[in-house]
Amino acid sequence: MTKKNYQRFFVVLGLVIGSRLAFAEPPKVGVLDMQKAMFEVKRGKSAKNSLQKEAEEKEKIVEKEQTAIRKLSEDFQKKAAHMNDKARMEKGAELQKKIEDLQRTAQGYQAEFQKKNEDAFRPLVEGLRALIPEVARRRKLDMVFENNTQSPGLAPGSTLVYAVDKTDITEEAIKLFDEKNP
């Protein structure tokens, strides 16, 4: 093919592609804010309220213990000057142990809360994801992205969770790659 033939080919190709695009409807895209959806469904609201109450109760326990430790620390600081070295070391170690125990307790509460949170919301996320194809077909959407941010539109981390015509090009790509890279 001559240079002129290549130019004609690309002009014709451009016209064909351009005409197809001019008559093609743009894809209809939906966005699901999963964070909002899982907290707004009835089961999500109930789980959130339940977990929040439990977290507040645990927080009160930790705050109460912190207050007791603070009081012990202040008392220790007042009396430390009048204690012998052995008594001061023992009381200091006892106070340090109480602080470490409280830290472990708080970390345990946090881990427990995180697990309960995951256990409560995982089924909601799975249930919402299972409904995406149905909603997409009903709304005649071509694609749906899951968006976990509160910002409008598609965030850089959005994930495609539904597409109408999933054409797998894997085999074609493998064959073409092998042809071009013997």
Query: pLDDT tens digits for 32-83?
Result: 888 888 888 999 999 999 999 999 999 999 999 999 999 999 998 888 888 8
Domain presence at residue 9: no
Closest CA to 144 of 9, 34, 15, 4: 34
- Provide the pLDDT for residue 172: 75
- Provide the pLDDT for residue 16: 45
Domain presence at residue 174: yes
Domain presence at residue 14: no
Domain presence at residue 11: no
Domain presence at residue 15: no
Return the top range by mean pLDDT from 6-15, 21-30, 84-93: 84-93
Domain presence at residue 10: no
Domain presence at residue 131: yes
Domain that holds residue 40: 25-180
Least confident of 16-20, 38-42, 127-131: 16-20
Domain count, the chain: 1
For residue 38, count CB atoms less than 10 angstroms from its CB and return exposed for 0-12, middle for 13-18, buried for 19 or more. buried
Our measurement of the distance from residue 85's CA atom to the centroid of its chain's CA atoms, rounded to an integer in Å, reads 52
Q: Is pLDDT above 80 for 23? A: no
* pTM beyond cutoff 0.85: no
